[in-house]
Amino acid sequence: MNPNLTKTLLPIAALACGQVNAMVQKHQQRPNIIYIMCDDMGYGDLGCYGQQYILTPNIDRMAKEGMRFTQAYAGAPVSAPSRACFMTGQHSGHTEVRGNKEYWAPSKPIYYGKNRDFSVVGQHPYDPEHVILPEIMKDNGYRTGMFGKWAGGYEGSKSTPDKRGVDEFYGYICQFQAHLYYPNFLNEYSRERGDSAVKRVVMQNNIDYPMFGEQYAQRKDYSADLIHQHALNWLKRQNKEKPFFGIFTYTLPHAELTQPNDSLVAFYKKKFFEDKTWGGQEGSRYNAVEHTHAQFAAMITRLDAYVGEILRTLDEQGLAENTLVIFTSDNGPHEEGGADPTFFNRDGKLRGLKRQCYEGGIRIPFIARWKGRVKEGVTNDLPFAFYDLMPTFCDVAGVRNFPKR
């Protein structure tokens, strides 16, 4: 890690209150950071960015209480390399992960009920010789938690959360597995509990039913809700005695388009009286969908409710004034699993989608809330990208010492 990185343009630190070092000295505890990154949300999918059809009251309020950026860019137009830019502080021409390369072991299948699955899954690993953000924060006294999608190494590699500075993890190691919102298993790790490595947690309420087809709807364990509950439980255990760094990489609203059939879905089914269906794609683990518009909209509003719970928890625990909260997306909007970005972004603000290097594929929503530090209700057009966030967070946290490899 080059310490001169902290001298580069730091978007949040430069805009918050100006003198980050003075703030760190004034407040005994260094600031906490919560980084919320959803999956495949487009620039125009939130009300505060002009969305007309989807309700996002909590994120809109977050924008009113903080700063909304209009020239924020992902690290890449697709998931794994974009996340790698955030984690490593490198752009996609330097970072080890440059695509969604996946590692599976189809010759050694494992069965969950009657469902044939992979014994090894995951993405190309981050370079173990290059330090990543959780390692920096942990080495500088932060509690670290990550909940959602890892996408930084396959199971058994040298780059899984337990080996890369994460104290507690719950979610998907592999982003291909994350195509199922009712999966056969999720992964977890807790340093506090004494776990030696990441392990699989079988979803017992799911495995009696197939991964594809009509019976799939009988599965009960919805991964997005489970991941959020683990993230919220971890957050509730934090306090003012030690700073914390939380990475909440929610999979919503990525395909497949499915969720519990609750009041959110019912609301949007009535809102989009004329809707579409989609036939499914078994090889990609995308099940068939009825009411694609209603499902997509409800997934974003569900995510918005998660954000609301996070902000309320910080307020209730008296942590909001010492916690920088970021909300963003890993890349532009997708059209997989029956999603219809043309419908939801029909104003045509940006050209392009996920996997494309047009503005629509890489410009993303980005909101920062830090009560008392970030000016409220401000819109900012400062250009920056995910690889600027490592030096920014280090500067905000007063980090001057970097782990060596």
Nearest to 69 by CA among 117, 11, 25, 137: 11
Model pLDDT, residue 23: 41
For 81, 84, 239, 313, the CA distances from 120, given in Å and listed in that order, are 20, 21, 37, 36
Note if the bond before 256 is cis, omega within 30 degrees. Answer: yes
Half-sphere exposure of 154 (CA within 13 A, CB side): 14
The tokens describing 168, both together, are: 């507690």
As a whole number of angstroms, the distance between CA 113 and CA 110 comes to 10
**Consecutive H or E run containing 187:** strand 185-190
Model pLDDT, residue 109: 85
Type of residue at 281: Q
Question: In whole angstroms, how large is the CA radius of gyration of the chain?
Answer: 20
Please state, as a whole number, how many other Cβ atoms lie within 10 Å of the Cβ of residue 368: 26
Torsion of CA 323, 397, 227, 80, to 10 degrees: 130
Model pLDDT, residue 104: 87
As a whole number of angstroms, the distance between CA 202 and CA 271 comes to 36
Model pLDDT, residue 325: 98
Nearest to 392 by CA among 62, 137, 159, 68: 137
Please state, as a whole number, how many other Cβ atoms lie within 10 Å of the Cβ of residue 9: 12
Model pLDDT, residue 234: 98
pTM for this prediction: 0.94
Number of H helices and E strands in the chain, helices first, is 11, 18
* Distance, C-alpha 284 to centroid of its chain: 21
Contact between 15 and 380 (Cβ < 8 Å) = yes
SS3 state of residue 133:
helix
Residue given tokens 């910080």 in the structure block: 314
Report all structural domains of the chain as residue ranges with CATH numbers, in order of start.
31-290+318-391 (3.40.720.10)
Strand-pairing partners, residue 149, are 172
Model pLDDT, residue 107: 73
Q: What is the pLDDT along the chain (405 residues), one digit of tens a residue?
A: 333 333 333 455 544 443 344 344 444 589 999 999 999 999 999 999 999 999 999 999 999 999 999 999 999 999 999 999 999 999 999 999 999 999 987 678 899 999 999 999 999 999 999 999 999 999 999 999 999 999 999 999 999 999 999 999 999 999 999 999 999 999 999 999 999 999 999 999 999 999 999 999 999 999 999 999 999 999 999 999 999 999 999 999 999 999 999 999 999 999 998 899 999 999 999 999 999 999 999 999 999 999 999 999 999 999 999 999 999 999 999 999 999 999 998 766 899 899 999 999 999 999 999 999 999 999 999 999 999 999 999 999 999 877 666
